[in-house]
Structure 1
Amino acid sequence: MIKVVIASQNPVKIKCTERAFQEVFKNESFIFSGINVPSNVADQPMSDLETLEGARNRAKNAQSAEPKADYWVGIEGGISETEAGEMLAFAWISIISNDQKGESRTATFTLPPKIVELIHQGIELGLADDMVFKRSNSKQSNGAVGILTHDLIDRSEYYRPAIVLALIPFINPELY
């Protein structure tokens, strides 16, 4: 039984990690668990680098908290501003084992001006979504990506391809 620890108790992050691992390692059996650990970055990472650092920190902190696992997965959502003043949303995935690591970033999408305005006021993206779209705890369901795509891409499906891509070094160890 392969143990995978997800550095979050958010059901969306757990579900997408389960799906990705089961798709990549079709013949394996898994035990998945979520754990709350700090990212050691701002609650709302505001750059590509800070978001990547948050994902890495989450994976490492999960490994420290639960060292008897096979994989530790950090997922960190972040935003960055373009030179044109648009704000892009994305997430970084960091997966580590005792002897390997893999990382990948999701696709990006542009946030609407009302959301950007709230973020500039210091409000985290998930809360800004809830305020603008009159939702509650949307980051544990469809998130900004689901709301803005009218659920054509929900948050779980948004993360899944990046998790698969972050697993490339693990399924091709001879190349890494």
Structure 2
Amino acid sequence: MNRKTLHVVVASTNPVKVKAALGGFEKMFADRTVDVVPLSVPSGVADQPMTDAETLEGALNRVQQARYIYPEADFWVGIEGGVEVMGNELAAFAWIVVRSATGILGKARSGTFFLPPAVAGLVAQGMELGHANDKVFSRHNSKQQGGAIGSLTDQVLDRRQLYEPAVVLALVPFKNQALYAAPAGYALPACPEKE
């Protein structure tokens, strides 16, 4: 059996992001060997992205930077955690972007959860979520471990487990390339106007 190795560059050295990317690729490409290369690159956005759009931009930027620095890979993965105000609460999530050497782009967002006021208040004052989580839960470097979701669930769900399904979702276009290659002239229908 030919197990062609997939060379995947993860645009981060954070072990949580690296393990989530590896796990997602191993699930979606079980017939392949996956070789992951962690690479520290700038996101081009704030250390703590504060909107959905800024978080997605950070993941896209990470992929672009990793591809520029390490062009000989099969795939590049950008994972960016972010928050956004929803009503009077602060929601936390991550965007995952995967690009292939053939130019296909896959994107997905992780599950979303709401931060408790003690953590949200610190983030609103300018503190990065990982540091706010460390302060509230008396942890050290939790963003490279269970993260805020790990602290809030008593490790029933950790940050890697939150991100890995989104990596799988971002890989859907690569497993279904013919379906995602839109025919010429195809356009999504316009959304109806709100009254």
Q: With structure 2 as the length reference, what TM-score do the two structures score?
A: 0.88
Which among 58, 63, 84 is matched to residue 59 of structure 1? 63
Question: Equivalent residue for 1:142?
Answer: 146
SS of the residue aligned with 1:67?
coil
Which among 73, 78, 85 is matched to residue 74 of structure 1? 78
2: CA distance between counterparts of 1:44 and 1:175?
Answer: 35
Which among 27, 30, 43 is matched to residue 31 of structure 2? 27
2: CA distance between counterparts of 1:30 and 1:129?
Answer: 32
After superposition, where does 1:8-157 map in structure 2 within 5 Å? 8-83=12-87, 85-98=88-101, 99-157=103-161
SS of the residue aligned with 1:4?
strand
Q: How many residues align?
A: 175
1:45-79: CA deviation from partner (whole Å, max 9, x where unpaired): 00000000000100111111100000000000000
SS of the residue aligned with 2:30?
coil
Runs (4+) off by over 4 Å: none
| Structure 2 unpaired stretches of 5+ | 181-195
1:88-115: CA deviation from partner (whole Å, max 9, x where unpaired): 0000000001220100001110101011
SS of the residue aligned with 1:158?
helix
1:6 aligns with 2:10: yes
1: CA distance between counterparts of 2:63 and 2:11?
Answer: 6
Q: With structure 1 as the length reference, what TM-score do the two structures score?
A: 0.98
The structural deviation recorded for 1:163 is 0.3
| Structure 1 unpaired stretches of 5+ | none
SS of the residue aligned with 1:12?
helix
2: CA distance between counterparts of 1:55 and 1:79?
Answer: 14
Over the matched positions of the two proteins, sequence identity in percent amounts to 50
Find the structure with the greater CA-based Rg: 2
SS of the residue aligned with 2:155?
coil
2: CA distance between counterparts of 1:12 and 1:35?
Answer: 13
RMSD of equivalent CA atoms: 0.7
